[in-house]
Amino acid sequence: ILDELHVFLSDRQMPKREKVLEAIHIQKQYSHSSFALGPVNLSLYAGDIVGLVGENGNGKTTLLRVLCGELYTTSGKVEYAFPYKDAYDLRTQLVYIPQRTDTWYGSMFENLVFTAAMYGYTPEENELVVNLIIARLGLRKFRSHSWKHLSSGYKMRFELARMLLRKPKVLLIDEPLANLDILAQQTVLEDFRAIAKSAFRPIGIILSSQQLYEVEKTSDQVIFLKQGVQKNLHNDEAASEMKDLVIEFESEWTQSRLNDIFAGNGLVSLQFNGGTYVATFTDEKTIHDFMSIAIANEVPVIYFRNISNSTRRFFVS
């Protein structure tokens, strides 16, 4: 079987990179609120993962609900670059998984079989496809479990399994890493990459999360929302802000002592933010210069990270 599968895949052409969704200058305003989302512009391609990050209350969930059609835009438009018959067919191919999913009853296996039947699988292929997806997402030993007997991580995997049965073009998912331990976060993100990059049926994924570094490592593109306004790591405006060297680090020394050491070595600013120091240096400095200065002055550095190309720098007050 493996030999036959290898022959089949060797002759199979890779699908072309196709746009599946585009948001064009979308804005969302509420009549009795000072908050406004937008303008936001983004393009999502099959096989790509777009990470959506930002502080709480800055519009991540609102943007996802606008993209899936749960909320209407005040201005701008969302275009779906795949054929669909009606609003129901659109929502079949455009899956939105909120942070808090609904309770379901019965066993996981029964729910997935029911979902498969709803979306057109014949009785002959229903159980086979369900077992395939259960195995793919590592759910085999939980197939007879009910909702209340699953951890948050496996509830998320169940939602992914149910989503895959719908053969969607786009997956929008809100805070999938919330309440997961670090190992479960890495596993779920690996699932997302495998699903998005599938050679058979690539999917465009947009996910929001507070787990900044994990999302950046997984995503093809990262969008940061600040008070509803978009900052994109790959656009010209953001690139112009990222010429300096920015280092996040932890040290037991005081801010004034560290400032005295780095002040004559291209330091632009030193801030204490979120329990760590964030040092900005002029663009001619490198990470090696920072390390050399710290070593020469015997600075007790507990942890450091180059965040020059990370949205972490947008979180600095």
Q: Tens digit of pLDDT for each residue in 173-203? A: 998 888 777 887 888 888 889 889 887 788 9
Kindly report the CA angle at 211 between 282 and 74, in degrees rounded to 5?
90
d(C-alpha 253, C-alpha 294), whole Å: 12
d(C-alpha 276, C-alpha 246), whole Å: 13
The strand pairing partners of 75, in sequence order, are: 27
Lowest mean pLDDT among 71-85, 101-115, 169-183, 297-311: 169-183
**Structure tokens given for 196:** 């998005």
**Structure tokens given for 82:** 């795949």
Q: Is the pLDDT of residue 242 over 80?
A: no
What pLDDT does 283 receive? 87
What pLDDT does 152 receive? 81
What pLDDT does 247 receive? 94
pLDDT class for 241, splitting at 50, 70, 90? low
The strand pairing partners of 245, in sequence order, are: 281
Asked if 209 and 287 count as a contact pair (C-beta separation under 8 A), the reply is: no
Average pLDDT over residues 279-298: 94
Kindly report the CA angle at 14 between 12 and 15, in degrees rounded to 5?
120
d(C-alpha 301, C-alpha 262), whole Å: 13
pTM of the model: 0.81
Asked if 270 and 262 count as a contact pair (C-beta separation under 8 A), the reply is: yes
Domain annotation for the chain: domains and CATH numbers: 12-237 (3.40.50.300), 242-315 (3.30.70.980)
